[in-house]
Amino acid sequence: MFYRKALDKLHAWKSASGKKNALRIVGARQIGKTTVVRELAKTYKSHILFNFVEDPKAKEIFAGSLDAQTLIERMSAYSGVMLHKGQSLIVFDEIQQCPRARTAIKFLVEDGSYDYIETGSLLGAVERKVDSIPVGFEEEYRMYPMDFDEFLLAINPDSVLMKKARDAFDRMEAIDSVIHDKLMSYFRLYMVVGGMPAVVKEYCDSHDLVRVRNLQKSIIELYRQDISQYASPEDKVMIRTIFDSIPSQLGSSNRRFIVSKIGENIRMRKAENAFLWISDAGVALPCYNTQRLCHSLAINSERSLFKLFLCDPGLLCAMGLQNVQFELLNEASEVDLGYFLENVIAVALKSLGFEELYYFDQKKYGEIDFAIEVGKEIIPIEVKSGNTFRRHATLDKLLAQEEWPVSHGIVLTKYNYLQEGDITYMPFYMVYFLKPKEVKTFIYEL
């Protein structure tokens, strides 16, 4: 198994003291949710894994009473696994296929004898089918495809390239040019291969980008099948149309998703459920417009204006232009690399823990690709694919204005780290060193 940061999260959840809720792992299909759970399960004295797709008869366990002791006896008898109080893990994989198991989580967690993990694709999208959602008894963790750091370690487990980059970032200095060039070569490869574990493994085994592309296309087709299987009859055509149009919409001049482009008479209100479904399924990542760069971005966002990114950069390549992989790897000047780069950055920011994505666009100033919120500080981010990375009129205007407290900006580029006044120029791969401010405890007594 490749190293996944998600496994560190799972170990932290296992080690937590006090009342432990069930861990609900959500995310798109084929990103490695089941694999990391199986690795964690090896650290328990015993475990049971119910996969409701591979073993649909397991649903019968939850057909009757949802009393915790009754369910525990049934699960142990059905699996033939002896459970040990406080030392056993029970996993409900593909739980979207068994809504009753999701309802049962409340009673099983209240019993407190064992640890529980729920995994599956489309959990958010099919949530409405659950009779009683166990509010207050689940801890949600959203997984994403392998990030660039994980991708590097998959190719070379002994790689220290990102550690060298981190050291340079912390010192606010340029990294050694040889290391920088190597990292940029790997980053372009990551844009093509992406972070789907099966695709990364195929590349590691064969280094054949034709086989990589074929596997990516099979995952894309699997997503289309999920839409046909799980989406409501009235929404599935709209969802499929939205999904298939993501590359062309991102390739437009301002990257914004224009609803009228998918149908002459379609309006946002009619398509709202479809956008919500594809976002909840983890397949696409919306990035909302904000016209004010002040705390909080969510309050100042305009939800009807947005960009729609794909959950994995490699899948975007496979859905995009023919032979675009060659152009990306060789930085062909005739290809617009901008929207491929923006997609990588969007996935990176989500995986880093920024809950929602925002871009800034206001007539008075212009447009900024991303805006992130670190505590109460708002940081505008520009993504520059070409050689003219120091031309950023909108960013200059924002740093000069006094309407909002924007003290510095970031320009992501293919060039090395450089600090000039209020602007930090840094290579694309350093985006993984940006973090939202985490509040671990907030104790208040009156």
CATH number of residue 126's parent domain: 3.40.50.300
Let me know whether 284 and 373 are in one domain.
yes
What is the domain count for the chain? 2
Would 184 be classed as within a structural domain? yes
Q: Does 440 map to a domain?
A: no
pLDDT score at 8? 96
The CB density around residue 205, as the number of other CB atoms within 10 Å, is 9
41 and 166 both lie in a single domain: no
**41 with 105, same domain?**
yes
- Give the residue numbers spanning the domain of 244: 148-433
Answer yes or no: do 177 and 44 share one domain: no
The residue out of 120, 142, 164 marking a domain boundary is: 142
Task: Examine the domain organization and report whether 123 and 190 are in the same domain.
Answer: no
- Give CA–CA dist 83/26, Å, rounded: 26
- Is 357 domain-assigned? yes
How far, in Å, are 261, 294, 380 from residue 107 at the CA level? 47, 43, 45
Say if 106 falls within a structural domain. yes
Give the model's pLDDT for residue 269. Answer: 66
pLDDT value, residue 267: 64
In single-letter form, the type of residue at position 365 comes to Y
Tell which of 84, 110, 142 closes a domain: 142
Task: Annotate 321-385 with DSSP letters as a single string.
Answer: STTHHHHHHTT-TTS--HHHHHHHHHHHHHHTT-SSEEEEEETTTEEESEEEEETTEEEEEEE--
User: According to the model, what pLDDT value does residue 158 have?
Assistant: 87
Kindly tell me the burial class for residue 437, based on how many C-beta atoms sit within 10 Å of its own C-beta (0-12, 13-18, 19 or more). Answer: exposed
Instruction: Out of 142, 158, 190, pick the residue that ends a domain.
Output: 142
Is 438 a domain residue? no
- Kindly state whether residue 260 falls inside one of the protein's structural domains: yes
Residue 56 sits in the same domain as residue 173 = no
pLDDT of residue 26: 92
| Integer angstrom CA distances of residue 97 from 51, 91, 277, 301, 324 | 9, 14, 17, 35, 37
- 213 and 93 part of one domain: no
Q: Return averaged pLDDT per consecutive 10 residues of the chain, 446 residues in all.
A: 94 89 93 96 97 94 94 96 96 92 94 94 60 80 96 93 96 96 95 96 95 95 89 86 90 80 66 86 93 87 90 91 69 68 96 94 93 90 91 94 90 96 96 83 75
SS3 410: strand
Q: Do 409 and 285 have their domain in common?
A: yes
Is pTM beyond 0.75 here? yes
Query: Same domain, yes or no, for 121 and 242?
Result: no
CA 32 to chain centre: 12
Is 83 a member of any domain?
yes
120 and 156 inside one domain: no
Whole-angstrom distance, CA of residue 62 vs CA of residue 59: 6
315 and 380 fall within a common domain: yes
pLDDT value of residue 127: 55
Whether residue 111 is found in the same domain as residue 227:
no
Establish if 272 belongs to a structural domain: yes
Which residue, 325, 275, 323, is CA-closest to 124? 275
